[in-house]
Structure 1
């Protein structure tokens, strides 16, 4: 089961992506928080990750460069604002710490059964114009591509158990 969907709110400048994985919540959590796993799946089709630093705690960060298929380098800085193990990872996404042009995001996990987990990625933009900019950049498709890349990582983790 790899159901996925996207939502755009009419009353707030948000983008919400959902994806269901055939994996227990604990494995999905590991997949979204372990830097050795993240670097192997985060990003849309054709992108790679060059890790810089990772400090997984509230107030910590994940600093990395996303390299596009054409070699363009996109600096990313996720400042972790709230962590509830196996349930919620909230962060500010920008190019550097407290980037005013960035946005807030929350990844929440819900166990649908012992072996099935729904991931919800909720992105909160500063304005409808900011949301439209990322939509024009392909955020819906790129976001779903990114979340799809977690599936083979989870299959590998399940096989190792």
Structure 2
């Protein structure tokens, strides 16, 4: 399958590096990752929705969110931001629960 997304596992650090290239203006893409109202528009797979509880987009900041399912399911998650290079790249760690 060619999804346009590259997954690179790092077994030594128990990490997966994800890279995707988008055919869009970099500031538009960046805003859809950094602004919680825009992030909520696309983060959840349909028919699920994403609701942000807290969004601190800065190094060592936290994004707390809940995925809302069509039958009332709720999946809480947390993202922790690492190094951020504006309009270029960011390090993010995701945790369930």
TM-score bracket for this pair, using the shorter chain length: 0.7 to 0.9
Higher gyration radius (CA): 1
| Distance of aligned partners of 1:35 and 1:8 in 2 relative to their CA distance in 1, 3 Å threshold | closer
| Distance of aligned partners of 1:87 and 1:8 in 2 relative to their CA distance in 1, 3 Å threshold | closer
Question: Does 1:92 pair with 2:73?
Answer: no
| Distance of aligned partners of 1:44 and 1:17 in 2 relative to their CA distance in 1, 3 Å threshold | farther
Corresponding residue for residue 20 of structure 2:
18
User: Greater helix share, 1 or 2?
Assistant: 1
Mapped contact 1:6–1:15 kept (Cα < 8 A): no
Higher RCO structure, 1 or 2 (CA under 8 Å, sep 6+): 1
Identify unmatched segments of 5+ residues in structure 2: none
Mapped contact 2:7–2:19 kept (Cα < 8 A): no
Deviation at 1:55, TM superposition (A): 0.9
Mapped contact 1:4–1:20 kept (Cα < 8 A): no
Corresponding residue for residue 51 of structure 1:
52
Deviation at 1:10, TM superposition (A): 7.7
Total equivalences in the alignment: 93
Identify unmatched segments of 5+ residues in structure 1: 97-161
User: Greater strand share, 1 or 2?
Assistant: 2
1:47-86 alignment runs, 5 A limit: 47-86=48-87
1:99-118 alignment runs, 5 A limit: none
| 1:71-104 superposed Cα distances (whole Å, 9 cap, x missing partner) | 21110100111111011111110036xxxxxxxx
Q: TM-score, normalised by structure 1?
A: 0.49
Mapped contact 1:52–1:63 kept (Cα < 8 A): yes
The two structures, once aligned, show a CA RMSD in angstroms of 2.5
SS in 2 for 1:90: strand
